[in-house]
A and B are shown apart, each in its own frame.
Chain A
Amino acid sequence: MSSRLRALRRASQLLFFAAFLLLFGFAAHLAKARGPVPPDLFLRADPLLALSAMVSLRKLIFPLLWYALPVVALSLVLGRVFCGWVCPMGTAIDICERLLRVRGRRPSHAPAWRRVKFYVLIALLAAMLLPVGHRSAQELALSQTVGLSAVYLLDPIAIVTRTFTLVVLPIVQRVVELTSDSLTVFSYSDFAAQHMWLSRVLNPLQFGFSQVKRPVYFRLSLLAFAVFAGIVALGHLARRFWCRNLCPLGALLGFLGKVSPIGLAVSDKCTRCLRCMDECKVGAITEDPHQYRGPECISCYSCIAVCPESAISLTTGEENAGRSDEVQLDRRRVLEAVGFGIAAALLPKVDWGVKRGGRGVLKVSGAKLIRPPGSLPEDQFVTACVRCGECMKVCPTNTLQPALGEGGLDALGTPVLVPRIGPCAQICDLCGQTCPARAIEPFSVEEKSHLYLGTAVVDRSMCIAWAQDRQCLVCDESCPYDAISQKELEGLGRPVVDERICVGCGQCENVCPVQPQGAIHVYASGDRRHLSRQEQEAYWAGAQQELSAESPYPGL
C-alpha cells in the first residue's frame, strides 16, 4: 500500500502532463479537429482563472464554470490534490528539479514565506473587485464596471501554457523547419537524383514535415523563459518553492481544502525519524511529525512511501486530528496586500496605457494596437485576457504576438496583430474558437468582413507606385475584402484604401514589397470594438450599399 500511492500519483502526474502536451500539440496544429475535449482544457479547469474572469468582468462565464467546478469539488473533498497529481506546472517543476538535480535545502519551518501565496491571492482579489474600467461606453454606471485581472502574471496554468507557447513551440518549430529545409535541399542533390529509391523515403518525410511546419516567432520568448527558469531556480531555496510559497492557485485550493474530510494520520509506530518531513515537497509537516498543515499538503503521499515504519495512512473524520487547517495570516499584511492590489490595479490605468474618448472610442493608444477579430472593447479585453497565448499558438499566420508597449502596461502580453509577420487570414476563425477567457469572442468567417480591427493607410512617401512612379499594386491584388483600389494618375495606378470596407486584416502590409517595414500600415484608427457587432454590421452594410451605387458592376 505504502509506495503504491506514490506510484499512482506519479503515474497521474505523467498522464496529465502527457494530456497537457497532447492538447497543446492539438491546439498548435490540429485546432480544426475539434474533439470532445477542448484543447485549452487545463486553462478552463483552473478555478482561479475562472474566478478572476467572472469577478473582474462581473458576469457568469459558463464555458469556464463547467470545467472549473469539478476541480473545486475535488479540492473540497481531497484538498490540494490538484497540485500534487494534476497541475502541469507542478509536474514541470518536479521534472526539472529531478533532471537538473535541483534539491532545496533542508526545509525551513518558518511559516512566513508560506503566507505569501495567500497575500498574493488577496491582492489579486482586491484588484479584481476594484472598479477600474467601464464595460462599454453605454454603461457608465458603477455597477457596470470591470476590475483588473492580473492573475495572468501568477496563475500557474497560464504561466506554463505561456512558457510552452512562447518558448517550447518556437524552438520545436525551428527544429522542424531546419530539418524540413535540410531534407528539401538534400532531395534536390545529385546524390538523391542518382538514387531514386531515396525519393520513396524522402517524399513522405518531406510531406510530413511540411504539414507540421508553421511560421512561429514570438516576441517576449526570452521573458517567458526567464520567468519559468526563475521559478525552477527558486527550487534551490526549497523544493517546489513556487507551489509552497507563491502560487495563488495553490492558496485558493488549499483554502477550499480546509473542509476536506480526508487527511493523514500518524500512528504510534512513529519513531520521529523525520524522514517524512525531509521528503515532503512542500514542507507541510511540522517538527512534530504527528502534525501537518492541511492547506499546504499537496497529497503527493511521499511521506507514506518513505516512512520506514509504515506509520502514516489516509483517514477520514476524527482520527484526522493531526491536521491543522489554520492559515495564520497577519492582519497588517492582509491590509497591505489589499492596498498593493488596489495600487497594482490602478497604476497601469494611469500609466501609458490606452485612454478613451467620450464615446468609448480609443483616444490614446499605441498606433499599432490591432486586436484580433471578435475582441472585447479594450477595457474588458485587458481584463478578460489571461495571457495564456492560446490564440497566438493556434494563429496559422503567426500574426498574433504578445503586446509590448502597444496597449500600455496592463496590456503587456495580450495578443496584437503584427501584419508584417502575417495577415489575419480571411478564412480563419481559430482564435475566437480557442480563447478560454472569452476575451476574443467566437466569430464566424463570414463576420470577418465587418469586424473592424483597424484601417490600412498608404504611406505615399514610401509607396513604389506613389513615390517612384513604378508599377506595383501588390496590396490591391491581395486585399481579401477588395478595400484597395487604384487611382489612375499620369497613366499609372496608385493604391488607395477605402476605409469603409478595410477591416485592417493586414494582408496589404504583409505583402508590401517595400523592405523592411512596408509602405502600407494598419493603424488602430479603424478599430470599431466600441460598437456592437450589429452596429458594425450595419456600418458595413451601409458601405456596401454606397459602393454598389458607385460600382461599374451593380450587384457585386
Chain B
Amino acid sequence: MSSEDMTRRELFKRAVAAGLAAYGLGELGLGGLSQADAAPAPTIAVATKGSPVDLVRRAVQGLGGMGKFVKRGNTVLVKPNIAWARKPEHAADTNPEVVAEVVRLCKAAGAREVKVIDHFIDGPDADVLRISGIGAAAQAAGARVLAASSMAMYQRARLPRAKVLKSADVLRDLARADVFINVPIAKVHSTTGLTLGCKNLMGVVWDRGAWHASASLDQCIADFAAHYKPDLVVLDAYRILLSNGPKGPGRVASPGVVVAGVDPLAVDAYGAKIMGRKPQDIGHLRLAAASGVGEISLDRIRVRNV
C-alpha cells in the first residue's frame, strides 16, 4: 500500500469517474451536477450471469484489470470470509472458486506471494479449511493459506481517528503486504444486520471480542474501516445467506453476482441492495460513511455492469 500506488489508483478513479460522469448522467438522467462536483463518484463493477471464476474475472476487468492493483513482485494479502466450518453451498464462507480466481489473477499480474488468510471462528483450523473448500482451492491457485490462530501473528495498532476503537491487535501480515484485497461474502448477520466487506475486516483482528464488549460494535467496525482500507474489494454474492446468518444453515439464494470496487462502502452499499436492504439502514455502513470512509448512497455510485 505504498503512496505511489495510492496516487495511481486515485488517478485511475478520477479518470474513470470523469469518463463515466457524462455517460451516467445521460443514461440515468440524474440531476445535480453540484452533487457530482462535491467528490468524484466511486465506480464499482458488477458481474452477473456466469461461473464464479468468470464473474470474478469480468468484475476485476471492469475496474481495469488486476494489473491496476497488483504490480510485479508485490506481496498480496487476500482476506476471504473463512469464519465457519461450512460447505460452500451453505454460503457461510466466501466461495472457494472466487477466492481461487482472485489468487490466480494476482499471480498472473506478477505477485511474488499471495497469502490467503483469516482468523477463523470455528475450529479446528484444518477442518475449517477443508470443509469450506478454500484451503485446497487457494493452495492449488498458488496461494499460501494461513490460519491466523496464533496471537504471535498480531501486533497492537493504534487507531488515532477512531471514536470508540482506539486500538486493535491487527495481523502483522497486513502491515507487510503491498496490496490488500478484501474478498467478503454477502450474508445476513444477527448482530449487525448484514455482513459485507467492512464487517469482514474483523477477521484480521485478534481481540474482536472486545468490539462486542465495547460501547458500540457498529462504531468499532466503522472505526476500523476508516483506518484499514483495502486496495480492492471483491464481494462474493454468487450465493448469499438470507437467514440464520452469519453461520447458517439458513435460506440460501443464488443471485450469481460478483461486485468489485475500490471504495469499500460503495461495494458494501451495492451488496446491501443485493440483500434487499437499504445501505443507510445498516448501522456500521452509515457510521463509516459519516466518517468519510466512502460512499453509500446508491444514486451516487457508478455501476458498470459487466
Contact = CB atoms under 8 A, between A and B. Distances in A.
Given A470-B217, A474-B191, A493-B190, A553 B251 contact: yes
Contacts of A552: 243
Contacts of B152: 180-182, 184-185
A180 B251 CA distance: 40
A422 B123 CA distance: 9
B216 A470 contact: yes
A513 B213 contact: yes
A397 B124 contact: yes
Contact of A511 (B121, B147, B190, B213): B121
B87 to A, nearest CB: 11
B237 to A, nearest CB: 19
B123 A474 contact: no
B246 interface: yes
Interface string B31-69: 000000000000000000000000000000000000000
Contacts of A473: 190-191
Interface string B142-160: 0010010111110100000
Interface size class of A (residues with CB under 8 A): 35 or more
Interface stretch (A105-113, A270-278, A475-483): A475-483
A472 B124 contact: no
B229 interface: no
Interface string B231-256: 00000000000011111111100000
Interface in A244-300: none
B274 interface: no
With most chain A CB atoms within 10 A of its CB, the pick from B121, B122, B147, B153 is B122
B273 interface: no
Contacts of B176: 188, 193
B191 A471 contact: yes
B218 A553 contact: no
Contacts of B192: 471
A181 B218 CA distance: 32
Contact of A203 (B85, B144, B243, B248): B144
A335 interface: no
Given A472-B217, A474-B209, A482-B244, A210 B147 contact: yes
A22 interface: no
Given A181-B152, A476-B190, A478-B122, A427 B215 contact: no
A482 B248 CA distance: 7
A188 B172 CA distance: 7
B210 A513 contact: yes
Contacts of B217: 470-472
Contacts of A397: 123-124
A445 B294 CA distance: 44
A514 interface: yes
A396 interface: yes
A74 to B, nearest CB: 39
B215 to A, nearest CB: 7
A539 to B, nearest CB: 20
Interface string B192-205: 10000000000000
Contacts of A214: 124
B161 interface: no
Nearest to B85: A427
A556 B191 contact: no
Contacts of A96: none
Interface string A181-211: 1101100100001000000000100000011
Contact of A556 (B84, B245, B250, B283): B250
A479 B212 contact: no
A425 interface: yes
Interface in A486-527: 486, 493, 511, 513-515
A210 B147 CA distance: 9
Contact of B212 (A182, A203, A474, A486): A474
Nearest to B155: A188
Nearest to A423: B123
Contacts of A474: 191, 209, 212
Nearest to A184: B152
A493 B189 CA distance: 11
Nearest to B147: A210
Contacts of B246: 477
A552 B243 CA distance: 10
B131 interface: yes
A214 B191 CA distance: 30
Contact of B249 (A181, A185, A472, A482): A482
B191 A478 contact: no
A464 interface: yes
Interface string B102-141: 0000000000000000000111111100010000000000
Interface string A531-556: 00000000000000000000011001
A478 B83 CA distance: 9
A471 B85 contact: no
A476 to B, nearest CB: 5
Given A193-B176, A203-B144, A493-B191, A472 B150 contact: no
Nearest to A422: B123
A514 B214 CA distance: 11
A478 B189 CA distance: 11
B212 A471 contact: yes
Interface in B147-183: 147, 149-153, 155, 172-173, 176
A397 B190 CA distance: 25
Contacts of B247: 477-480, 482
A64 to B, nearest CB: 29
Given A473-B190, A493-B190, A396 B121 contact: no
Contacts of A213: 150
Across chains A and B, which 6 residue pairs bring their CB atoms closest together, nearest first? A513-B209, A181-B152, A472-B212, A184-B152, A396-B124, A471-B217
Given A181-B152, A210-B125, A397-B123, 6 more contacts: A184-B153, A213-B150, A425-B123, A472-B213, A513-B212, A556-B243
29 contacts: A180-B150, A180-B152, A181-B150, A181-B151, A184-B153, A188-B155, A211-B126, A464-B212, A464-B213, A470-B212, A470-B215, A471-B192, A471-B212, A471-B283, A472-B217, A476-B190, A478-B121, A480-B122, A480-B247, A482-B250, A493-B191, A513-B210, A513-B213, A515-B209, A553-B250, A553-B251, A556-B244, A556-B249, A556-B251
